[in-house]
Structure 1
């Protein structure tokens, strides 16, 4: 005998019912079938909604009732030949007449009892099974409709179902001995109590109906047909990478279903467990898919964790106080009160100091629990021995489940480390001695991030997803996007990094795509996007709340750098080539460093000095290893080096500067480079990384430009003044030429003081013969006192700056 169950989503339309019929007919080729049916998709929700409306004397329930009646009539007309419709239409109408009478009673009395609610909520299964039974008769299948209310005996206490298995098993075995048919059609969910009053098996109880029948008849297996390919490693609606499990144990299935896996109703396993009856979770719409087998053993040798699941509709209750410490029987009183109020405890945790007890309950039972506990402990609260019960809402439980977790060390450490690295705060933890389940209470807003983080940690091919939000898509930003597109597959294949760009912004427009922006067509899409707004951009990044989020700043804007603290304080890493933040007041610089430590985010700015050169990284490693910096000498401006390498008096100075601008070696405002402010910021950053507390105004600057040009208000005016000062530039060049030297704009840090300025360097100096836009840094330290550690290479240009930003992003990925 085959026991099948079909859920509401499988019966949502006549077309789906026809598909179900084909699946049943295939099973009929081999054996007798008992098929249990849920209500048509969405009907039970409507039935309960109508009851609640009627209780409130809201007659809008009538329109919903009429809609549902029409839906069932249309199903009859679609499924059953006209000549055979009369009898079933009469049965359906009779059921709706009874429903109408019940709702009128609720409406007039302004009261909805539990008994009435159970009666009303069971009509959906009766209606669907009656129609489907008639449909099979029209297909010439020998079928018999079975009223499960005459066979299954149970009682309900506050939605908690207790089946009388002695009576139920007797009724079922006797019925199937006396009745013979090719196909038995059974309404799920419905039952009666010992007094013969209609009752139900709880929401999702059609699974339970099938399991009760299977247990009584002691069949080999039960097939639960739903709209997915089995039980998944996580909710596929929240975790796109989740996949169906081939085989899990009863205990694992019980844990997963208890903690929110809606594919299986938790009590379903009770009648099957002791008799080793297997359950298959299969997809109605892909009947050949193997689905998930639930059996005594999961028979898996490669996975420590079976699944990740969560419960949303909960609240935390916390009671604490010195009056609890060392008092025998306090916990007994606490839980006895909850028992008397029929309140189910979902999670329990108690400090070893006995100073507090924290529990999780269903959110609609939290206030009731608080009132009962506060009343019971009124005396202790009055004497301030304990505090009144506190309720914390907007929380959820996430859980790792797996039979083999107890055999593997460090799983809880990996779990909490992964959550902590993404700034997911844990409010409470529970783990049984069986170690089959590790549960944690977190903020509801972090659930999706937590599930994806843990799934990535425990189930996916060792890889890491980085979610980028990039502002500034001009010279440098455009090159960065090109590099990301080009290296996308390499990063995944070689470094196991999946890098996605989810947000883009320039000064005019901003674009978001939660599935990842198409880097092939980003320019056109950005041009059509919404107006840029820094606050909205930040709010969107925060709202998405994705793991491994990185804000990338490719601008030179002080306004953008002012937002770093907000991103870091929300555990969103920052990668930037913008020097303003690190060269700001030392207090602000220090605050950013503190935020990175406090919130576990990365703040990387390697491109602040030397573009793609590992200058800051080298310095940080020297300091971290215990070396002490005694002196730094450097040529840190690729733009100034380019200018003085190419200026020989044959072409006007301003022309060389224009070329540097066109090549992308200078900032959009070239005064920033030529004034030495940019170099001053760079040596300031190196000074701070060395451990000094300097401010920008502490940097001594020897200007080679006239004050007029430095104070010019536009690039046009600036270049006009450079033309006027051409004689001075020729004179500087000629003096250096006469001294057989080169002009270099040098930054120096020594004895706690820093200065920048134009210098003549001889042919033997390490700074001589620097080509193009090259930078060079000499680190003199206690370990390198005479021969400095030298970092040298291209220090300007969009390509190398973009590659430096890229490298910082990869550094976060490898963290």
Structure 2
């Protein structure tokens, strides 16, 4: 014989009930089947709502009752073609329900005993309708009232099963029954006095397990709306996977910690008889689902699942008077037991100075009052402090029987949470090491679950969520590169890049789902008005794991926002030089915040676009080398200008060409004044360990006073025409000596300078073509022949490539 249980969603619609009938009919061909059914989806909540309204003397309960009545009547008509006997039977049940609700309304009270009677109507009605539906299709099925089989004590709403009587009732009944299909309502039972009792919300699973154990069946099947137990809640973790096999104890832990596909007490009867439990999907019966049973210790993943419980409150009892005082814990737990407060989690420091317990938030005030009443004497003497209550919390748990034989799991768990700015309020791990539990803020649950799932179940595949501000020329090319390389990164680097936010100067978009890179322009155009502060607040509120803010602007307020991003463990990848080349205090504070909040600050493109200049410098220093001197051509813009400027040419035309082709900033004065190069050598000096400011760099301008005092960009270009002879002389003087003009930055013996130089053929800068950059690192290890980094130093594609490289490097953090 087999026992099958179908939950509320499985019987929540006419279509689903048709699927239930097909599954049961198919199985009953092989052997007799006992079918346990829940109330029609949503009915139990409606019953409780109606009872609560009635007890509050609110006549709106009548509307809820009508909704319950109409829903059942509609189901009965659809499944039995208006069978008059069935309709009359349902009508009689609804009449009893109406009388009960009227009584609750009149006496203004809803006792636990009455609550059980009220809640039972869901299963009593659904079991009748479903039995009639079988028979209507010509499939013989018999209804059996579970209350005549399952006996409990009189602890209403939380009744305990009297197993001796219950098992005798079940075995006797089924020994005599000739029916191949028996339909029973789940959740409901009765006391020895014949009063209706219930087995707790989710008790239909428990009913099925009680039947399975009493009948010693081959297997118990729990049919629901998902294909088994998952490695995490699939509604919160899209990458969650079905668990093929899991042990009884692991399933019990997961179900306790919120895996709602199984009611925790269900496992106990099955475990006692070693009956495997199968979690199956009514909507996809062909899928394997999850098998729960005795499991061998495996060498695979020691973690079977990650789960959580929401709406937790943390209560802390502490005080010097607790240290060395026996009986404190006994009194604490006894008073909570008397108040029927279930303790979810316990942790106590070895100093005995405090005890921390997790309870459901709904029980927190009652628990606090009871504890403070119990310890009133100690509180009056200030030996114990008032109970501290923290709310809006959740418990997350790693579950797996094999964890005890694997080192470093808790360390990996806590470091993963820490990297994602998930603060842990309390930790509990039993000696059996079947689960590791941590209390965190409710708002961080989704991020925590996804971060842990990524580490423990996805082969260390890292998901990086990008929020990009400044999607102009360089930003557009970065998005194109991400789109092109996304599959390669997933397949080869185990890296999943998702663009979750975009902003330009006009509009912005921050999305809960990844932005489609095939039509990001139209999505962004339909976004809200751009606002730097609101964009940042939206990114922080979205609270995604491994979040990265990418700044492709030259905007100072954007750069000043980096601190707040980092404080929320959001990494920063910056093309904008203002932060790294601003005040040393701000730069050093960003470095400090980066370390403190594990939020990498990446700004490779600040110096050489796509060239690994900063990375090379950092590696030299990290390996113990010391920088002696740096010589460099760091402006692709200026190199382009002077490589294309010949004697007799118009300097104005060359600069205009550089601007048009995107080699200069929108305001070319930033490049030609040497300020941009000065910022770059400043950054290299700081990364070399020097605490210097921009004013400390000697900047010898080659522009005229007229150029430097221009009022705007058009005026600047006019001054270039006016001072054409000045630039002609610069290039002709160099040409006459067989030399070329290069704008050189230098760091030597702690002093930095930038300026235009005329260099001969023996200089490494002489043959530097196009917009290329070159950096010569003279170090203690490279004293004579420098370490050279050379390549394209300007242009949208290479700058985007540099940003992309910084983003990819984040996978290692």
Comparing 704-713 and 672-681, the one that deviates more: 704-713
Measure, in 1, the Cα distance between the counterparts of 2:156 and 2:572: 51
Shift of 1:196: 1.9
Please tell me whether the aligned partners of residues 348 and 430 of structure 1 are also in contact (alpha carbons under 8 angstroms): yes
Deviations 1:442-481 (A, max 9, x none): 1111111111111111111331111111111112111111
Please tell me whether the aligned partners of residues 276 and 291 of structure 2 are also in contact (alpha carbons under 8 angstroms): yes
Measure, in 1, the Cα distance between the counterparts of 2:287 and 2:736: 85
Deviations 1:248-271 (A, max 9, x none): 111111001000000000011111
**Counterpart of 2:30?**
30
**Counterpart of 2:291?**
293
Corresponding residue SS for 1:486:
helix
**Counterpart of 1:235?**
233
Which of 78, 83, 87 is residue 85 of structure 2 equivalent to?
A: 87
Corresponding residue SS for 1:163:
coil
Shift of 1:596: 0.5
**Counterpart of 2:323?**
325
**Counterpart of 2:804?**
806
Q: How does 1:166-181 map to 2 (within 5 A)?
A: 166-181=164-179
Q: How does 1:191-206 map to 2 (within 5 A)?
A: 191-206=189-204
Deviations 1:152-174 (A, max 9, x none): 11236484331111111122122
Q: How does 1:467-482 map to 2 (within 5 A)?
A: 467-482=465-480
Deviations 1:192-231 (A, max 9, x none): 1232211111001111111111111111211111111111
Deviations 1:354-403 (A, max 9, x none): 11111111111111111111111122222222211111111111111111
**Counterpart of 2:668?**
670
Please tell me whether the aligned partners of residues 227 and 287 of structure 2 are also in contact (alpha carbons under 8 angstroms): yes
**Counterpart of 1:184?**
182
**Counterpart of 2:302?**
304
Please tell me whether the aligned partners of residues 156 and 198 of structure 2 are also in contact (alpha carbons under 8 angstroms): no
Shift of 1:749: 2.0
Shift of 1:632: 2.0
Measure, in 2, the Cα distance between the counterparts of 1:107 and 1:680: 82
**Counterpart of 2:364?**
366
Shift of 1:524: 2.6
Measure, in 2, the Cα distance between the counterparts of 1:81 and 1:520: 51
1:717 is the counterpart of 2:691: no
Please tell me whether the aligned partners of residues 248 and 298 of structure 1 are also in contact (alpha carbons under 8 angstroms): no
**Counterpart of 2:489?**
491
**Counterpart of 1:557?**
555
Deviations 1:665-708 (A, max 9, x none): 11111111011111111111111111111112222221121233
Measure, in 2, the Cα distance between the counterparts of 1:496 and 1:158: 53
Measure, in 2, the Cα distance between the counterparts of 1:580 and 1:663: 23
**Counterpart of 1:266?**
264
Please tell me whether the aligned partners of residues 213 and 272 of structure 2 are also in contact (alpha carbons under 8 angstroms): no
Q: How does 1:670-709 map to 2 (within 5 A)?
A: 670-709=668-707
Deviations 1:383-440 (A, max 9, x none): 2222111111111111111111112111111111211111111111111111111111
**Counterpart of 1:60?**
60
Q: How does 1:638-657 map to 2 (within 5 A)?
A: 638-657=636-655
- Cα distance change of structure 1 residues 309 and 270 upon mapping to structure 2, 3 Å threshold: same
Measure, in 2, the Cα distance between the counterparts of 1:211 and 1:170: 15
Measure, in 2, the Cα distance between the counterparts of 1:736 and 1:453: 60
**Counterpart of 1:744?**
742
Shift of 1:182: 2.1
Comparing 245-254 and 133-142, the one that deviates more: 133-142
**Counterpart of 1:766?**
764
- Cα distance change of structure 1 residues 799 and 158 upon mapping to structure 2, 3 Å threshold: farther
Corresponding residue SS for 1:450:
helix
Please tell me whether the aligned partners of residues 466 and 547 of structure 1 are also in contact (alpha carbons under 8 angstroms): yes
1:42 is the counterpart of 2:42: yes
**Counterpart of 1:122?**
120
Measure, in 2, the Cα distance between the counterparts of 1:453 and 1:403: 21
Please tell me whether the aligned partners of residues 158 and 342 of structure 1 are also in contact (alpha carbons under 8 angstroms): no
- Cα distance change of structure 1 residues 654 and 98 upon mapping to structure 2, 3 Å threshold: same
Measure, in 2, the Cα distance between the counterparts of 1:713 and 1:8: 74
**Counterpart of 1:402?**
400
Please tell me whether the aligned partners of residues 775 and 790 of structure 2 are also in contact (alpha carbons under 8 angstroms): yes
Which of 439, 459, 462 is residue 461 of structure 1 equivalent to?
A: 459
1:282 is the counterpart of 2:306: no
Shift of 1:300: 4.6
Measure, in 2, the Cα distance between the counterparts of 1:484 and 1:806: 8
Please tell me whether the aligned partners of residues 247 and 299 of structure 1 are also in contact (alpha carbons under 8 angstroms): no
Corresponding residue SS for 2:182:
strand
Shift of 1:729: 0.3
Measure, in 2, the Cα distance between the counterparts of 1:649 and 1:574: 44
Corresponding residue SS for 2:471:
coil
Which of 395, 409, 415 is residue 411 of structure 1 equivalent to?
A: 409
Comparing 245-254 and 55-64, the one that deviates more: 55-64
Please tell me whether the aligned partners of residues 12 and 41 of structure 2 are also in contact (alpha carbons under 8 angstroms): yes
Comparing 488-497 and 692-701, the one that deviates more: 692-701
Shift of 1:606: 0.6
Deviations 1:726-784 (A, max 9, x none): 11000111111223322111222233332211122222122222111111222223333
Measure, in 2, the Cα distance between the counterparts of 1:732 and 1:155: 102
Please tell me whether the aligned partners of residues 37 and 128 of structure 1 are also in contact (alpha carbons under 8 angstroms): yes
**Counterpart of 2:14?**
14
Gaps of 5+ in 1: none
- Cα distance change of structure 1 residues 524 and 364 upon mapping to structure 2, 3 Å threshold: closer
**Counterpart of 1:97?**
95
Deviations 1:227-284 (A, max 9, x none): 1111111111111111111111111110010000000000111111111111111111
**Counterpart of 1:70?**
70
**Counterpart of 2:614?**
616
Gaps of 5+ in 2: none
Measure, in 1, the Cα distance between the counterparts of 2:299 and 2:756: 68
Measure, in 1, the Cα distance between the counterparts of 2:519 and 2:364: 51
**Counterpart of 1:421?**
419
Please tell me whether the aligned partners of residues 426 and 439 of structure 2 are also in contact (alpha carbons under 8 angstroms): yes
Q: How does 1:617-632 map to 2 (within 5 A)?
A: 617-632=615-630
Corresponding residue SS for 2:682:
helix
**Counterpart of 2:529?**
531
Shift of 1:788: 2.6
Comparing 249-258 and 744-753, the one that deviates more: 744-753
Corresponding residue SS for 2:344:
strand
**Counterpart of 2:568?**
570
Shift of 1:129: 0.6
Please tell me whether the aligned partners of residues 635 and 641 of structure 1 are also in contact (alpha carbons under 8 angstroms): yes
TM-score in terms of structure 1 length: 0.97
Please tell me whether the aligned partners of residues 560 and 579 of structure 2 are also in contact (alpha carbons under 8 angstroms): yes
